[in-house]
């Protein structure tokens, strides 16, 4: 029995996927060449060397360098619209029924767009993507660690304008090693006051303390990555007792040197210990991974059982920034599929 095909067809969700890290290389090449953007690559194989982790990557900082050209082609409405539609199509092919996509809107203003135009273009494509591909997608707006807190406040106020129109949360992303979460506390206090959902990248590098800082000081109800939670018992207990979901992305963590080998990733230990872990790609293009492939990695490299795979999918559905009613709908769709699987595939 083809387990990969089964996993691909199980209705899944993805909670941590960056748009600019998930653009088809062919699309970046075409948009750069037709748009007169100066790039050092002129065919698809050359492009992949600049856009994907194909060799050694020494840190998260090196990993983030891969976003330079994707951001450059995302400065026009027509380009942003196309990229979103293609990403939703890719999600459909990956068996995803619901995806939370992330974007740092203030990075896309160099072509003359306003922050509102950036967000509205994404939301328009998401609506059309749902109509065409049947995938529900929503938007998380990211502020960036290296930017001043005033920029994060701008992102929070932007999110508030669209919170009932497709934007579901805000996030803090970027260089965790040099910019601790407390720098942006004022902005996230404001988001909390507005009632906006909050997720924060934390514990992606070796700084475990950032996890509790993000939850307590920045009001995060979900944590992006959280790999290094194991370094502090207090953090582990807090995550378990408060049912804080971790948006885990093992291939990305391997590439950024958060782990030295895939088999060392703590995701299975966390799951067994009662932490609410979910599985995600982080950046489909940069990490050169699909969600189905990531689930297969868990089976082949961490000896996950199908029962554990199904639990991860349930965790993702239950942890989504979606209404209780819509989560129930997704769980019903998931359960219907699982009930039809042969018993051998559920163990």
Are the beta carbons of 103 and 122 closer than 8 angstroms? yes
Q: How many CA atoms lie within 13 A of 76 on its CB side?
A: 11
8 Å CB contact between 196 and 156: yes
Model confidence at 344: pLDDT above 60: no
Asked if the structure places residue 269 within a domain, the reply is yes
Banded model confidence at residue 151, pLDDT cuts 50, 70, 90: very high
Query: What pLDDT is attached to residue 59?
Result: 76
Which tens digits make up the pLDDT trace of 261-316? 999 999 999 999 999 999 999 999 999 999 999 999 999 999 999 999 999 999 99
CATH of the domain at 237: 3.20.20.140
In a domain, 345, yes or no: no
Q: What is the pLDDT of residue 345?
A: 65
Report the pLDDT value the prediction gives residue 272, as an integer from 0 to 100.
97
Kindly report the average pLDDT of the chain as a whole number.
Answer: 95
Supply the pLDDT for residue 1.
Answer: 59
* Confidence bin at 173 (pLDDT 50/70/90): very high
Average confidence (pLDDT) over 117-139 = 98
Mean pLDDT of 53-77: 85
Strands 167-173 and 277-279, by their bridges, are unpaired
Return the pLDDT at 47: 87
d(CA 49, CA 54): 6
Residue 165 lies in a domain: yes
Q: Please give the tally of structural domains in the chain.
A: 1
Count other C-beta atoms under 10 Å from residue 256's C-beta: 24
pLDDT for res 62: 79
Distance of CA 301 to the CA centre of its chain: 22
Contact status, residue 319 vs residue 276, Cβ threshold 8 Å: yes
Give the pLDDT mean for 92-105: 98
In a domain, 240, yes or no: yes
Comparison of pLDDT for 175 and 160, the residue scoring more:
160
Q: Does residue 281 sit in helix, strand or coil?
A: coil
Residue 347 lies in a domain: no
Q: What is the pLDDT of residue 49?
A: 87
Lowest-pLDDT range of 30-39, 184-193, 226-235: 30-39
Catalytic residues: 204
pLDDT at 191 over 60: yes
Asked if 231 and 207 touch (Cβ cutoff 8 Å), the reply is no
- With bands split at pLDDT 50, 70 and 90, how would you rate the model's confidence at 346? low
**Is the confidence at residue 206, as pLDDT, over 90?**
no
Structural domain contains residue 15 = yes
pLDDT score recorded for residue 33: 92
Torsion angle (degrees, nearest 10) of CA 85, 88, 92, 97: -140
Asked whether residue 56 carries a pLDDT value surpassing 80, the answer given is no
In a domain, residue 344? The reply is no
The answer to whether residue 97 is domain-embedded is yes
Q: What is the pTM of this model?
A: 0.96
Domain that residue 278 falls in: 3-339
Q: What is the DSSP letter of 147?
A: S
Tell me the pLDDT tens digit for each residue of 209-262. Answer: 999 999 999 999 999 999 999 999 999 999 999 999 999 999 999 999 999 999
């Amino acid at each position: 029995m083809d387990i990969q095909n089964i996993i691909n067809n199980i209705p899944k969700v993805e909670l941590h996927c960056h748009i600019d890290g998930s653009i088809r290389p062919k699309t970046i090449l075409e948009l750069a060449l037709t748009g007169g953007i100066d790039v050092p690559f002129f065919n698809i194989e050359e492009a992949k060397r600049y856009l994907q982790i194909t060799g050694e990557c020494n840190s998260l900082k090196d990993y983030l360098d891969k976003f330079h050209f994707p951001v450059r082609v995302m400065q026009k409405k027509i380009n942003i619209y196309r990229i979103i539609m293609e990403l939703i199509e890719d999600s459909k092919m990956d068996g995803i029924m619901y995806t939370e996509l992330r974007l740092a809107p203030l990075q896309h203003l160099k072509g003359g767009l306003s922050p509102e135009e950036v967000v509205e273009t994404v939301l328009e494509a998401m609506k059309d993507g749902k109509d065409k591909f049947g995938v529900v997608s929503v938007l998380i707006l990211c502020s960036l660690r290296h930017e001043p807190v005033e920029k994060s406040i701008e992102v929070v106020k932007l999110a508030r304008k669209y919170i009932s129109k497709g934007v579901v949360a805000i996030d803090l992303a970027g260089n965790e090693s040099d910019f601790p979460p407390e720098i942006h506390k004022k902005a996230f206090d404001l988001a909390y006051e507005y009632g906006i959902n909050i997720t924060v990248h934390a514990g992606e590098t070796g700084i475990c303390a950032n996890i509790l800082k993000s939850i307590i000081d920045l009001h995060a109800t979900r944590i992006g990555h959280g790999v290094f939670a194991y370094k502090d018992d207090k953090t582990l207990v807090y995550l378990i007792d408060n049912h804080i979901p971790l948006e885990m992305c093992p291939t990305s963590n391997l590439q950024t040197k958060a782990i030295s080998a895939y088999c060392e990733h703590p995701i299975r230990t966390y799951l067994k210990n009662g932490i609410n872990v979910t599985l995600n790609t982080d950046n489909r293009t940069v990490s050169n991974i699909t969600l189905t492939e990531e689930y297969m990695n868990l089976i082949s490299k961490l000896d996950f059982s199908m029962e554990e795979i199904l639990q991860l999918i349930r965790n993702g559905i239950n942890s989504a920034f979606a209404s209780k009613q819509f989560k129930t709908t997704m769980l019903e769709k998931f359960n219907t599929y699982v009930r039809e699987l042969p018993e051998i595939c559920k163990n």
